[in-house]
Amino acid sequence: MKKIAVAIDGPAAAGKSTVAKRVAEILNFTYIDTGAMYRAFTWYCLEKGLDCQDEKACVAVIPEVKIELKPGHIVLCNGQDVSKEIRLPRVSQNVSYIASYKDIRLALVELQRAMAETSSVIMDGRDIGTYVLPNAEVKIFQIASVETRAIRRYDENISKGIPCTLEEIEEDVRRRDYIDSHRDFAPLKPAADSVLLDTSFMNVDEVVNEVLKIIEQKMKEKVNA
């Protein structure tokens, strides 16, 4: 079967990764969490004691950082498993700065494109449909209200034992929305050929089914084109 790429973009905490993981399992595609890569880079900068708002200092460490995504949603940074650490508030609060630096984006996009070369993928992020995989067969832009997203991320953190308050999560979501959509290079925005999916009033199963339907529909259109 021909390789297929599915791009799922959207703002922070819209539930993209939960849905992408499930759909990847059902279709036997490789799931690529690009946000985890920006988070791992941010974790490394923080570990080195760098100020994440200092672009020059953070860009300078690009050659030192090796990020790998392994089966089972394991994220390695220079061989160390940082899957849990990258979800901590200090990383969430700084990752949008790191993701706004063009040189860091270019380095990570190169890795992301290479991953999509070898198998069918479902990749989630902010710029997948617009920049990373502009020829993706299916592009979905997944949104939900700020309040819904904050509650979902809060529940997720609490269930993982990550301490936080709903107020700080909502503030972080708003701040990241702003930075992610106002940066100069590859900002968060829907691709012209993406399908908009508002999940504010949908549960996970409903969103998964809707995404599967969109993929099936798009593939039918391609065959008939």
Tell me which residues touch ligand DC (CB under 6 A). Answer: 12, 34-35, 38-39, 95-96, 99, 125-128, 176, 180
Give me the least distance between CB of 84 and ligand DC, in Å please: 14
Exposed e or buried b for every residue in 92-117, given b needs 16+ CB within 10 A? bbbbbbbbbbeebbebbbeebeebbe
Q: For ligand DC, which is the closer residue by CB, 107 or 219?
A: 107
**Tokens 């708002």, residue located:** 53
Give me the least distance between CB of 127 and ligand DC, in Å please: 5
Query: 195, 137 in Cβ contact below 8 A?
Result: no
Greatest extent of the chain over all pairs of C-alpha atoms, in Å: 55
Look at residue 66 and give its three-state secondary structure.
Answer: coil
Q: For ligand DC, which is the closer residue by CB, 127 or 170?
A: 127
Give me the least distance between CB of 152 and ligand DC, in Å please: 12
**Tokens 């936080």, residue located:** 164
What DSSP character marks residue 217? H
Give me the least distance between CB of 86 and ligand DC, in Å please: 8
Alpha-carbon gap, residue 9 to 16, rounded angstroms: 7
Give me the least distance between CB of 211 and ligand DC, in Å please: 16
Q: For ligand DC, which is the closer residue by CB, 204 or 221?
A: 204
Q: For ligand DC, which is the closer residue by CB, 29 or 34?
A: 34
Neighbouring-strand partners of residue 143: 198
The amino acid that residue 30 corresponds to is: T
Q: For ligand DC, which is the closer residue by CB, 84 or 213?
A: 84
